Amino acid sequence: MIRIASEDVGLAEPGALRFTLEAKAAFESLGQPEGDLAIYQAAVYLACAPKSNAVYLTEKRVKKLIRESGAMDVPLYLRNAPTKLMRELGYGKGYIYAHDDQVGAAQLDYLPAGLGQRNLYEPTEHGFEKRIKEVMDARTKLKRSRKD
């Protein structure tokens, strides 16, 4: 059931993973027959939850991209600069702290330069992913407006 919560329900119902882990813990704590109820509750919860495999599909796209592109450098502005040498080499220069932005969305490219702009995660319209999609769309629109 934990796998179902993660792979089949996914972010359409983010609480499903926690719910199934808590059911497992309750079962392990109580044993049978009392713990069976927690397992039954988790089964019903998962059966009724909205479904999305968008994160699972994203994992496949990411792995394919890595295979095809090979190792690429992390952009310098995303690299930590704990030493003077790293700062001199430009690590962290130009980094924008998302919390300082009005909408909490730093307008940075997070992928290596050779990959350009891509959306590897494509949320569905199911459950909570609908809200994630709305946020992603709003940030894309904002990013385009800031470039103009």
Q: Which of 60, 88, 99, 93 is nearest to 76 (CA)?
A: 93
pLDDT tens digits for 94-136? 998 888 877 677 778 888 988 877 889 999 999 999 999 999 9
CB burial of residue 38 (10 Å; 0-12, 13-18, 19+): buried
Average pLDDT over residues 41-60: 98
Q: Which class would CATH give 1-73+112-148?
A: mainly alpha
- The pLDDT confidence band at residue 145, using thresholds 50, 70 and 90, is confident
Average pLDDT over residues 39-46: 98
Write down the domain spans for the chain.
1-73+112-148, 74-104
Considering the chain, what is the average pLDDT of its residues?
Answer: 93
- List the single range of 36-45, 71-80, 87-96, 136-145 with lowest mean pLDDT: 136-145
Q: What was the pLDDT predicted at 55? A: 96
Give Cβ neighbours of residue 110 (< 8 Å, ≥ 6 apart): 75, 78
Average pLDDT over residues 71-97: 94
Helix (H, G, I), strand (E, B) or coil at 106: coil
**Residue 25 pLDDT > 70:** yes
Q: What was the pLDDT predicted at 148? A: 61
Residues 31 and 124: their CA atoms lie apart, in Å, by 37
Q: What was the pLDDT predicted at 67? A: 95
